Amino acid sequence: MCGIVAATAQRDVAPLLIAGLKALEYRGYDSAGLAVLDGGQIRRVRAKGKVREMEALYRADPFPGGTGIAHTRWATHGVPNEANAHPHVAGRVAIVHNGIIENYADLRARLQAGGRAFTSETDTEVIAALVDERLAAGLDLREAVLAVVRELEGAYAIAVIDRNAPGRVVGARRGAPLLVGLGIGENFLGSDAQALVQVTHRVIYLAEDDVVEITRESVRIHTLDGTPVERPVHESELSADAVERGEYRHYMQKEIFEQPRAVADTLEARLGPHGVLPNIFGAGGDELLAKVRGLHIVACGTSYHAGLVAKYWIEEYAHLPVGVEVASEYRYRDAVVPPDTLFVAISQSGETADTLAAMRESKRRGYLGTLAICNVPESSVVREADLRLMTRAGPEIGVASTKAFTTQLAALALLALQLAHQRGLDADRYAGLCAQLAHLPRAIEDALALEPAIVALAERFIPRQHALFLGRGVQYPVALEGALKLKEISYIHAEAYPAGELKHGPLALVDESMPVVAVAPGGPLLEKLKSNLQEVRARGGELIVFAEGEAGMDGNPARGALLRVASGGDFIAPAVFTVPLQLLAYHVAVLRGTDVDQPRNLAKSVTVE
Ligand code: G6P
């Protein structure tokens, strides 16, 4: 999703802004631009496509200037082209913006009635015009922005400069992230700490409705009513290395291979030799969890699939009812909340607009409390939850989520175990499940060793347009996640079904041109799954089976392939079987030559509705 970087410094800021935009590329975008104050004028460069294309234009005609704003845009209002790219300029003002202004049409009509012309289709240009209007009426930049954001409905993070206010950038946020980076004699704004890691580690996370003014020497924050406030300074732990690609061809591949470490880090000091350690969900967490009589899990995308796995675990081991729902649905319907229900939000970024809105909505619906499972400390979801368990995946750059998913599963496994233990799960069974979970990093390591075999398998998918994924029980969400990975990065249409549903519709699609991927570890449902696979075979479908044993393939499938995966046990099998599906999607995408880390049309962190 869109990314913002802004700077005010003694040195020329355009190169810093470009470096910051490159660090934000992972979020997904389709155009880029920057604007700098250069001796009383606004100099601007914008381009459709990648940051390097905009950079080439800048380098062909560079300009100096110590104050500037920059942006990567993920199109919402208006197609991706130069005219719609940010920064937008109106009179004295240049602005960059993330989010969607819901009342922009009314505001635009009012401005047009007053004679103002617009050069783009964006809602952002409307904000620029409104600020310009206020400046013309005599307000200074901070006052003007404050007055304008009071009129805005919707979500925004903005950074604004004024031709007549050199050395000054004003930012504001509501429902979209923005933070301040503190340098020495220079200050910055960015959408996340990663954008600023090359210039500073000292950051201030702005709160909802904050308006900030930065100069080289000062940072002043005000709330929407104009009251000055102080916000704490954090030392970001991100290192520039953590966002390097190293020896890997893509971030996604690097992140797939980081999973053993990331999962081990997530379990570290949380799973002891005798079970889940006390209060890993925060102070008073165990006490609150002991009262829980049901859970509602809400998330989007891959995080939603993690929630679906958790439902199987929690219902099986803790016997608590669990509802799982995508956030964009949950927030707009009247979910019935039985007494003592825990609301659980799962989010890698902690800034997904729908998940955040759902969590805010949940606070009005009478839950026992809220728990966030999240990868980004200081994100909005984490800050607004009562309890939290951080996944420790480290920065995830590839748009297609991999290590975030398996670390979410590790965190949710801890939750399931804690809930089950509190509700009297048999001690031997509890110990056995804990031992399996402790083995998960190793089991993932073993699954990664399948990569060469998966590369060979991936070739079969190069000419395909469609694929079906099948799983049963707790492996059904794994099939969903496998299908999502394939469609996200290889652009092959892929759908997942619980294998038992095959004959209720999707079997009609099966012929020689349809690869069917089945996730088939051992367990009680294996026999059932085997007969589902026979149904595919009988129709000439190409079966690709990831199995612990033979899975009815008799070691010598007539058409198709069998890949043996050691699950490490029923409990952790969903996390382990996810890994070969990630590798499959990755290698199919590489072979098809797509933009693996930044697939078309997708964004890493979806901060608009
Ligand atoms: C986007 C990303 C997905 C991610 C989803 C939810 O669609 O491309 O990879 O699963 O958002 O993101 P979250 O940060 O809330 O987990």
Q: How confident is the model at residue 238 (pLDDT cuts 50, 70, 90)?
A: confident
Q: What percent of the chain has pLDDT over 90?
A: 77
Q: pLDDT tens, 19-72?
A: 999 999 888 889 999 999 998 899 999 999 999 999 999 999 999 999 999 999
Mean predicted confidence (pLDDT) in 470-475? 94
449-599 has the same fold as 245-446: yes
Distance from C-alpha of 59 to C-alpha of 74, rounded to nearest angstrom: 23
Location of structure tokens 């995080």: 303
Token pair of 544, please? 């690709």
Which atom of ligand 1 is found nearest the CA of 352?
15
User: Does 599 contact ligand 1 (Cβ within 6 A)?
Assistant: no
Instruction: Convert the pLDDT of each residue in 284-341 to its tens digit.
Output: 999 999 999 999 999 999 999 999 999 999 999 999 999 999 999 999 999 999 999 9
**Class of the domain covering 449-599:** alpha beta
Q: Is 349 in the pocket of ligand 1 (CB under 6 A)?
A: yes
Report the separation in Å between the CA atom of 505 and the middle of ligand 1, taken as the mean of its atom positions: 29
Q: What is the pLDDT of residue 503?
A: 85
List the Cα angle 413/414/415 in 5-degree steps.
90
CATH architecture group of domain 3-243: 4-Layer Sandwich (3.60)
Predicted TM-score (pTM) of the model is: 0.82
In degrees, rounded to 5, the angle at the alpha carbon of residue 473 between the alpha carbons of residues 468 and 478 is: 50
Judged against a pLDDT cut of 90, whether residue 176 lies above it is answered with: no
Tell me the per-residue pLDDT of 496-528, one tens digit each, with 9 for 90 and over. Answer: 999 889 889 888 888 888 899 999 887 666 777
- Tell how far CA 288 is from the center of its chain: 28
Q: How far is the CA of 420 from the centre of ligand 1 (A)?
A: 28
For residue 127, pLDDT over 80 is answered with yes
| Amino acid at site 286 | D
- Is 319 in a helix, a strand, or coil? coil
Other Cβ atoms closer than 10 A to 579: 27
Contact criterion met (CB below 8 Å) for 92 and 162? yes
CA distances from 537 to 372, 450, 464, 496 (A): 43, 24, 18, 17
Q: Where are the domains of the chain?
A: 3-243, 245-446, 449-599
pLDDT at 377: 84
CATH number of 245-446, picked from 3.40.47.10, 3.40.50.150, 3.40.50.880, 3.40.50.10490? 3.40.50.10490
Question: Model confidence over 584-606: pLDDT tens digits?
Answer: 999 999 999 999 998 888 888 78
Which tens digit of pLDDT belongs to each residue from 551-596? Answer: 655 544 556 788 999 999 999 999 999 999 999 999 999 999 999 9
- Enumerate residues 6+ apart whose C-beta is below 8 A from 250: 398, 586, 590, 596, 597
Q: How many residues does the chain have?
A: 609
**How many whole angstroms from 348 Cα to the centroid of ligand 1?**
7
Could you tell me the two tokens for 512?
A: 């020689």
Given the structure tokens 């100099």, which residue do they identify?
Answer: 43
Mutate to test the pocket of ligand 1, among 604, 607, 608, 609 (most ligand atoms within 8 A of CB): 604
pLDDT of residue 281: 96
Average pLDDT over residues 539-556: 74
Question: In this structure, which amino acid lies at residue 64?
Answer: P
> Is 2 assigned a catalytic role?
yes
Q: Which residues contact 190 (CB under 8 A, 6 or more apart)?
A: 3, 4, 5, 6, 20, 24, 178, 179, 181, 196
Name which residue sits closest to atom 4 of ligand 1, judged by CA.
Answer: 301
Q: List CB contacts of 556: < 8 A, sequence separation 6 or more.
A: none
Convert the pLDDT of each residue in 82-110 to its tens digit.
988 999 999 999 999 998 899 999 999 99
pLDDT tens profile 527-538: 777 777 888 888
